[in-house]
Amino acid sequence: MTPLRWPLMLLSLALAADARAEPPPRFPPQAVWHQDISDAAVHPQSASMIDTWVGLGGFGFGRMQIDFSFHIVHAPAGAPTRTIVGYPSADEYYAPDCEPIGTPMPVPLDAAIEGQDGLSCANANGDCHLLVVQGDRLFEAYRANASGSGGLQAQCLAVWKLEQVYPADNRGEHCTSADAAGFPIAPLLFNADEVHAAMQVANGDLGHAIRFILPNPRMASTVVSGKRYGQYVRPASHAGGPTGPVGAVPYGSRLRLRADFPVNLYPPAARVILRTMQRYGIVLSDGGNVALTAESDRYTDHTWASLGIGSRLFDQAVPAAPVRPQDFVVLDTGPRILETWECERNPETNGPTGLQARLFKAGSRPGILWLNWNGGTSRVDIYRGASFIGNVSNKGAWRDKSQAGLTAAYRVCNEDSTICSEAVTPVLQQPIVYTTTPKPPKTATPPATTSGDAVRPAATPAADTGKNKRPGTATRPRPQASLDP
């Protein structure tokens, strides 16, 4: 190999490594999106709502079609950022629903807006979603478009904490997000890599609900005092601009594909998606015509073509059994909520931060682990790996005498919550050296002295071992705060 070709080969390998796909962003298993709804209760008016929906035209374009235009961008630490510029104007930015104008958002150089190859998008006429994951944060912008060298036009930026299980009203009652139902977008998409992975498992599924949308005239609304209002149900926290009859399905509805749908007539990749609809359902997230939303192939290892998945799969692949509205039931997720468009944002809940895990050992003796952190609730939960260790008063520190070695990562979480510190593996500190003060040599007992009738032994000078020290001790570091035992 010539000297020139060797560095070129290394460069190509490095570029290939940089281009490796990342897994889709997901919330903790306790999140509502990961609930198995196979046996969930059906809404009493399910049949009526489905009939109304069918009478209005069913899915957009009259079919369950798939949109492959959404990109999920994974931003490394230190990626360039852009600052949110209110669009169409500061007054028309969705506040307080969305993060404040001026919030920085990580935008890598290879980022691309929905349906685009880069950061230029005609946001006056399109949704132009930009979805970026960085660590445990998900940034989702609506009507995005690059502005100059460091700005990003958007009508909404919603930031989601992927380590958090959100309450029933998500980021706040009557609060929108980059999706009109107030949902996150990226965690409800499906991509070719996760479908391929599920195909390797017998009877595999995706393990999460799937986003779907309908035209606004086919979603429920009602008229109060001459004014039309939207309606939504959990898990939604907002309704966009629905204009359909009150008997239609409302924003946020979770639908389940019937258990006896002929899944096995479809290709293997399609079966994964259909089984997911039976076990986790589809959730009504936004207004539009193309029912399902998948991630594009831009950043994935596998492609939709390689899996045999096309846009018209569910209405053309099996002519005898297309997927229709009549194949679903509407689940009972609670009463309808009248949309007021008056967002009440939930306060931010911060978890423990700055966790340090230090292990102190002395030779073959059992070690002691010290954990130190900042913040969190008044009581916190301690985890070693996936194992719950205990619930303690939050004093910013804790010690573990029964530590399991250097391989187990520790986390500190708010009490009964998945809002946690980062997982930290203990770091072995400078070994403790135990020293022993030599014992003084034995000396003969001096003869007794006599003073009158009293006889007493002579005094023996005390060995000078140092005040308040005892043999066999070592100087140990002090914890940063008082501890629970």
Residue 476's pLDDT band (boundaries 50, 70, 90)?
very low
Residues 220 and 73 grouped into a single domain: yes
432 has a pLDDT exceeding 60: no
Residues 155 and 296 grouped into a single domain: yes
pLDDT of residue 363: 61
Q: Please check whether residue 485 lies inside any domain of the structure.
A: no
Q: Please check whether residue 324 lies inside any domain of the structure.
A: yes
Residue 267's pLDDT band (boundaries 50, 70, 90)?
very high
459 has a pLDDT exceeding 50: no
Q: Please check whether residue 387 lies inside any domain of the structure.
A: yes
- In the numeric block, which tokens belong to residue 117? 């190859």
159 has a pLDDT exceeding 50: yes
112 has a pLDDT exceeding 90: yes
Residue 453's pLDDT band (boundaries 50, 70, 90)?
very low
> Which of 397, 428, 459 finishes a domain?
428
Q: Please check whether residue 141 lies inside any domain of the structure.
A: yes
pLDDT of residue 399: 87
Say if residues 353 and 413 touch (Cβ distance below 8 Å): no
Q: Please check whether residue 163 lies inside any domain of the structure.
A: yes
Angle at 399 (CA atoms; ends 396, 400), nearest 5 degrees: 140
Residue 468's pLDDT band (boundaries 50, 70, 90)?
very low
Residues 284 and 386 grouped into a single domain: no
Angle at 277 (CA atoms; ends 272, 278), nearest 5 degrees: 95
Say if residues 295 and 211 touch (Cβ distance below 8 Å): no
Average pLDDT of the chain is 86
Domain that holds residue 370: 353-428
Q: Which residues pair with 369 in a beta bridge?
A: 359, 400
Residues 413 and 279 grouped into a single domain: no
> Which of 428, 458, 477 finishes a domain?
428
Q: What is the b/e burial string over 194-230, where b = at least 16 CB atoms within 10 angstroms of the residue's CB? A: bbbebbeeeebbbebbbbbbbbbebbbbbeeeeeeeb
Residue 433's pLDDT band (boundaries 50, 70, 90)?
low
Residues 367 and 329 grouped into a single domain: no
- In the numeric block, which tokens belong to residue 243? 């204009």
Here the CATH number for the domain that contains residue 400 is 2.60.40
Residues 329 and 400 grouped into a single domain: no
| Mean pLDDT computed over 91-95 | 97
Q: Please check whether residue 136 lies inside any domain of the structure.
A: yes
Q: Please check whether residue 237 lies inside any domain of the structure.
A: yes
- In the numeric block, which tokens belong to residue 434? 């135990």
Better pLDDT: 430 or 283: 283
Residues 364 and 337 grouped into a single domain: no
Q: Give the closest residue to 373 by CA, choosing from 390, 358, 388.
A: 358
Other Cβ atoms closer than 10 A to 466: 8
Better pLDDT: 201 or 402: 201
> Which of 382, 405, 428 finishes a domain?
428
Residues 334 and 403 grouped into a single domain: no
| Mean pLDDT computed over 423-434 | 73
Residues 360 and 339 grouped into a single domain: no
pLDDT of residue 411: 87
pLDDT of residue 405: 55
Per the structure, the count of domains in the chain is 2
Residues 283 and 145 grouped into a single domain: yes
For the chain, how many residues are written? 485
Dihedrals phi, psi of 393, to nearest 5 degrees: -65, 135
pLDDT of residue 479: 35
Q: Please check whether residue 257 lies inside any domain of the structure.
A: yes
Residues 330 and 390 grouped into a single domain: no
| Mean pLDDT computed over 65-70 | 98
Residues 129 and 82 grouped into a single domain: yes
| Mean pLDDT computed over 192-207 | 97
| Mean pLDDT computed over 423-443 | 65
CA distance 321 to 338: 37
Say if residues 237 and 216 touch (Cβ distance below 8 Å): no
Better pLDDT: 11 or 250: 250
Say if residues 277 and 258 touch (Cβ distance below 8 Å): no
Greatest mean pLDDT among 219-223, 418-422, 427-431? 219-223
Which residue matches tokens 């804790």?
A: 398
Torsion on CA atoms 50, 52, 53, 58, rounded to nearest 10: 110
